Amino acid sequence: MALEIKKLRVYGDSSIVICQTEGKWKTKDEKLKPYQEHLENLIKSFDEITFEYLPRDNNKFTDALATLAAMVECTPNTQVRPFLVDRRHEPAYKESINALTTDGRLWSAPIIDFIREMKYPPNFTTSEQKRLQKHAT
């Protein structure tokens, strides 16, 4: 099934593979040559294709996408819609780290209390107690 994709941006964490894919280097390993030839033929089917190297320590997003892809089952008829991801320059949790509970204490206060006293707050339900114990662990 042809997806009719004409522009493609490829990210990789192996500079060797990126350089081989861009045609800067050729593989010497006879077992890998058919893969490189196949890739070179695939590249010809795109109007525009770019390759970007991401060092392994900078590819958390790539790892997250790979994990997500492994969790989703797709059939040949599955339609995948593109999605946009905002690039953040600060952690998303920065604003909520100082969030207060309804009684005006930091959100982490019940966890700290539980670790110190090994007692649940009196108003906690069973599910809240389980969650509290999990967080305290």
DSSP codes of every residue in 6-33: -EEEEEES-HHHHHHHTTSS----TTTH
Q: Which residue has the higher pLDDT, 84 or 121?
A: 121
Q: Taking the C-alpha atoms of 42, 44, 49 and 52 in order, what is their torsion angle to the nearest 10 degrees?
A: 60
d(CA 60, CA 127): 32
What is the pTM assigned to this prediction? Answer: 0.39
Residues of the chain with CATH 3.30.420.10: 7-71
**Burial tier of 110 (Cβ tally within 10 Å: 0-12, 13-18, 19+):** buried
φ, ψ of residue 33 to 5 degrees: the values are: -60, -45
Residues 45-78 have pLDDT tens digits of 889 999 888 777 766 776 777 777 777 777 778 7
Compute the Cα dihedral for 49, 54, 60, 66 and give only its sign.
positive
Residue 103 has pLDDT above 80, yes or no: no
Q: Which two tokens stand for residue 9?
A: 């941006």
d(CA 23, CA 15): 12
What architecture is domain 7-71?
A: 2-Layer Sandwich (3.30)
31: left (phi over 0), alpha (psi -120 to 50) or beta: alpha
| Side chain identity, residue 126 | T
Residue 124's closest CA among 116, 115, 133? 133
pLDDT averaged over every residue in the chain: 79
